[in-house]
C-alpha cells in the first residue's frame, strides 16, 4: 500500500509490476531478516522488531541498489527507514500495549 501511494505521488503509476519492482528488495530483505534473526521464536518482542527492522532497511537498500539497479537517494533512504520502523517496530509496540491491557 505504501509503495502504491509513493508511486502515485511521484506520477509513476500504480501498475502491479511497478509496485513489485519497488517492494521486492524490501520483501526479500524482510525474509532474510526473519530467517537470520529467527524471529518466529519471539515475533512480538521489541528486540526482534528492531533487529528485523534494521536488517530489512540495510539489506533492502543494498538489494535495491546493487541487484535491482534502482536509486537510493537520501530522501528515499530516510522515508524507507522511518516507514519500515513504524510498520515493523511500531506495530509490535502497539500490539504489546494492547496485550498488556
Q: Express each pLDDT in 43-96 by its tens digit.
A: 999 999 999 999 999 999 999 999 999 888 899 899 999 999 999 999 999 998
Residue 56 CA to residue 26 CA, distance in Å, equals 6
| Contact between 76 and 64 (Cβ < 8 Å) | no
User: Rounded to two decimals, what is the model's pTM?
Assistant: 0.84
State how far Cα 24 lies from the chain centre.
Answer: 10
Average pLDDT over every residue of 26-48: 95
pLDDT score, position 15: 63
Distances (CA, A) of 66 to 1, 5, 54, 77: 24, 24, 18, 15
Amino acid at each position: 500500500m505504501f509503495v502504491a501511494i509513493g508511486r502515485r505521488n511521484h506520477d509513476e503509476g500504480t501498475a502491479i509490476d511497478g509496485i513489485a519492482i519497488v517492494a521486492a528488495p524490501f520483501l526479500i530483505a524482510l525474509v532474510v531478516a526473519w530467517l537470520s534473526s529467527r524471529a518466529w521464536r519471539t515475533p512480538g518482542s521489541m528486540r526482534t522488531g528492531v533487529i528485523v527492522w534494521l536488517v530489512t532497511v540495510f539489506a533492502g537498500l543494498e538489494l535495491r541498489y546493487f541487484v535491482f539497479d534502482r536509486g537510493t537517494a537520501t530522501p528515499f533512504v530516510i522515508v524507507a527507514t522511518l516507514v519500515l520502523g513504524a510498520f515493523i517496530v511500531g506495530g509490535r509496540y502497539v500490539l504489546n500495549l494492547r496485550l498488556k491491557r
